[in-house]
Amino acid sequence: MAGEGMLGERSPQRGLFEADMMYLKFVGPNTFYGFLAAHRDELFQDEGFAKLYCLDNGRPSVPPSLLATALVLQTYDKVSDDEAKRRADYDLGVTRLRGHL
């Protein structure tokens, strides 16, 4: 089923300049955030969400593994949807400012 339909998928290959690789020392490998960064591929696989998506209607989705990771972080941090989005936007902006995207 991989690569078919509207199910968005994350690449199984991590880039050297992905935030979870670049900032692991900053958040700490022995923290909740470090654990999630190191094990997200084991915890959330896009194929596991495939039955929730239409195969032939609509546009490709945001990878569900990314959404699941964001939801876990939002719950862990006990923040609203708006605050979770603001944090993600801010973190992405900081990463761009540093020239890593």
Secondary structure (DSSP) of 60-78? PPPPHHHHHHHHHHHHHHT
79 in any annotated domain: yes
5 in any annotated domain: no
Two tokens at 76? 């862990």
> How many domains does the chain fold into?
1
Q: Which residues contact 3 (CB under 8 A, 6 or more apart)?
A: 9
10 in any annotated domain: no
pLDDT digits (tens, 9 = 90+) for 35-76: 888 888 899 999 999 999 888 888 888 889 989 988 999 999
88 in any annotated domain: yes
Domain residues for 31?
A: 19-97
4 in any annotated domain: no
81 in any annotated domain: yes
7 in any annotated domain: no
1 in any annotated domain: no
Is 5 within 8 Å of 47 (Cβ atoms)? no
pTM value is 0.74
